[in-house]
Amino acid sequence: MLFENGDRKTIPRHEFWERDINSQPLTSDELERYDRQLGPGALTEAGQRQLRDATVLVSRVGGMGGPAALMMAMAGVGHIIIAHGSTMISADLNRQVLGSEAVLGKPRAAHFAEYLRSMNRFIEVEAIDHEPDDGEARELARRCDLVLSCPPTFEERLRLNQASIDAGIPFIDAAQWGVSGTLMVLKSPRTACLECVYPSVPPFEELFPVVGAISSTIGSLAALEAIKILSGIGEPLWGKMFSYDGYGGIPTVVSLTRNLECRCCQEAVETTGE
Ligand SMILES: [Zn+2]
């Protein structure tokens, strides 16, 4: 099993996400639109087509999920599903970049989706005006190539983790508190899962303090990991937790060890035989 006992061996980049790269070539308009991200050190044309053909769920598109969805939209992820309930309030405006003063008091999902659509005419954005329950999360994950989890609550994060495992797709978890944040790139049972890290829901206060600069940082890094996985570039942080201590300006990366008692991973092993 990769990543156990801190193994730093990497997983081949395409192993989790095989795409038919024989899809339609990029049009001249698309080539012009994505010109600055195509080339050595960035994306290939095949990778750009893979982005175009991809579907990603971003659940909660506030401080972290908003920038994550925005960066994926601008990069050309072809179908983005965003889920976020309730209306925009004044206290959201320190970090929720998809909103504005004009959205105060209005439902977030529909307005955020409209903003994302305005940023890239080549993509589709689907808005869900609530946080998915267990069944809906499972159904949504089955339609996706990757789930990007940005909710503040552990219940929702663990629900999306389970849905991703059931669908057999990569799962990126982003979290924040104060001026610090964490990012995990997972694909159980080949790596640990979120329930390996949090076997039970820890004590938690939903209305915690957070500065928008760390939200956007973690959200953008989450989007970058998604783009790497979907387009087949670079070395995704498979099975690792990246954390950034904003107070000290200290980044840390640790390899996560799978919990052999983990219910989620055990079910995934039985399903996949890995
Ligand atoms: Zn697990």
Cα of 46 vs centre of ligand 1, distance in Å, is 33
Per DSSP, helices labelled H in the chain are: 28-33, 45-52, 65-75, 108-119, 134-142, 154-167, 194-197, 212-231, 263-272
Phi-psi region of 31 (alpha: psi -120 to 50; beta: other; left: phi over 0): alpha
pLDDT at 12: 42
CA distances from 41 to 20, 44, 79 (A): 22, 9, 25
The pLDDT tens digits of the residues spanning 140-193 come to: 999 999 999 999 999 999 999 999 999 999 999 999 999 999 999 999 999 999
| pLDDT interval class at 271 (50, 70, 90) | confident
Per the structure, the complete domain to which residue 232 belongs is given by 4-272
- Among 127, 87, 79, 83, residue whose Cα is nearest residue 104: 87
pTM for this prediction: 0.93
The pLDDT tens digits of the residues spanning 218-232 come to: 999 999 999 999 999
Cα of 259 vs centre of ligand 1, distance in Å, is 6
Give how many domains the chain has, as a whole number: 1
| pLDDT interval class at 14 (50, 70, 90) | very low
Cα of 120 vs centre of ligand 1, distance in Å, is 36
CATH code (residue 186): 3.40.50.720
The single residue listed with the structure tokens 């039970």 is 200
| pLDDT interval class at 8 (50, 70, 90) | very low
- Among 145, 158, 149, 159, residue whose Cα is nearest residue 182: 149
Strand partners, 255: 240
Tokens of 57: 């769920």
Cα of 272 vs centre of ligand 1, distance in Å, is 14
Strand partners, 176: 181
CA distances from 173 to 19, 120, 150, 181, 245 (A): 23, 25, 6, 11, 17
Cα of 145 vs centre of ligand 1, distance in Å, is 20
The pLDDT tens digits of the residues spanning 89-141 come to: 999 999 999 999 999 999 999 999 999 999 999 999 999 999 999 999 999 99
pLDDT at 6: 36
